[in-house]
Structure formats: C-alpha cells, structure tokens
Amino acid sequence: MTTAMPQGTAPKRSRFRGLLPLGILVWIALEIWLLTLVGGATSGFVVFLIIVAGIVLGSVVMKTAGRRAFQNLRQTLQQQQQGGVSAERSADSSRNGFLMLGGLLIMVPGLITDALGLLLLIPPLRSVVGRFADRSMEKRMRAAVPGDLQDAFQQARRTRMGQDGKVVQGEVVHDDSPRAEGDRRSRGDDDGPRPPLTP
C-alpha cells in the first residue's frame, strides 16, 4: 500500500531569485554603457583590444588554474594511497576554484566583470573570499534539515510529471471462480503475456 506525500504549502520563492533577472539586465546595461564610454573617449579599436586582451588573459588564467587543479588532484590521490591528506592541500584546491572563476570573469566581455576577475587573481583577497564561502556553506549545511534534499527532489519530480501527490487507495480483486474463467476465455483473455498499455 502506498501513502500520499504530505501536502505542504508551496515553498516561498527567495528574494534573490526574484531579483536575479533584473540584476542581470542592469549588469548588461552597465557593461554596455561603460564600453561605449570607453569607446567614445578613445576609439572602437581600443574597446576591441580590451575585449580580446580579456579573452586571452582569462583563458591563460583558466588554463593555469586547470593545470594546478589536476596537479593537486594527482598529489592528493598519491597522498591518500600513502597515508593522509594535509589540510593545506584541500584549502589550496578549494581556492583554485576562485582562480578559475576569476579567469572566467575576465573572459566575459565587459569592464565590471574584468575588474571582478582581476580582484579574484589577488591571493589574499581570494583567501578571504574562500573563507567566507566555506563559512557560509558550513552554516547552510548545519541549518539544513536531513530530508530537505529528498523532499526537494520529490517535489520537482511531481511538478515535472504533473502529479499533485494524491494517492487513490484501493485493492485489486481477482475472481478465480470457474464461471469467471469461462468469461475470460470467451473474451479471448488468457494467462499469456499481454502487450503494454499505452496512454
């Protein structure tokens, strides 16, 4: 017997998710405005050079960070086989993600993203941002209820399938009397395999 999932109230949409599209539009407008200001003060060729330089520099940073991440992974696997992993190695690998993020931000055309990406290339600032991210992640993990992920998955599944989570209780009854057997044979039903039902 299956039971219905408890129907709760619809989850509140966070303020951040509500303002995200507006924030993206404002960011794009600011980037375009700043690029036109630079283009008006200098020339369109200078803006083109800034964009190309950002793409090249960002790809070099991401390639370097990727190599470092692969090297850290290989050294971590070797240390695990030999004994243990040092805490500074795991902290270094977590900061490597911010180095990759900095490279990605530099690659995105625009002066604001370039400035943010260049800030993430500064090691002390990268460490501060990494510690802040670690603390906020630990705080969220401690505040999470054990069933949150499973409930979220089931809710998404019900939404995708168009189900409301209601279960109709019932019982299947087989009538095995000789008369019922005769009725099934006259209809052409037998105990052999049947084709699958299609909606």
| pLDDT attached to residue 52 | 93
**Amino acid (one-letter) located at 133:** A
Give pTM, 2 decimals: 0.59
The strand ranges marked E within 31-88 are none
Residue 79, C-beta contacts closer than 8 angstroms, at least 6 positions apart: 85, 86, 89
What's the CA gap between 5 and 153, in Å, rounded? 13
Write out the chain's pLDDT in tens, 199 residues.
Answer: 455 555 555 556 677 778 888 999 999 999 999 999 999 999 889 999 999 999 999 999 999 888 888 888 888 888 888 876 555 555 555 677 888 888 999 999 889 999 999 998 888 888 888 888 888 888 877 776 656 565 666 666 665 555 555 666 777 777 666 665 555 555 555 566 666 776 6
Contact 61, 99 (CB under 8 A): yes
Contact 121, 102 (CB under 8 A): yes
| pLDDT attached to residue 179 | 63
| pLDDT attached to residue 57 | 93
| pLDDT attached to residue 136 | 85
Give tens-digit pLDDT for 15-47: 777 888 899 999 999 999 999 999 999 988 999
Q: Is 110 left (phi over 0), alpha (psi -120 to 50) or beta?
A: left
Q: How far from 39 is each of 36, 46, 185, CA to CA, in Å?
A: 5, 7, 85
| pLDDT attached to residue 37 | 93
Contact 106, 113 (CB under 8 A): yes
| pLDDT attached to residue 80 | 80
| pLDDT attached to residue 170 | 72
**Amino acid (one-letter) located at 165:** G
What's the CA gap between 6 and 168, in Å, rounded? 14
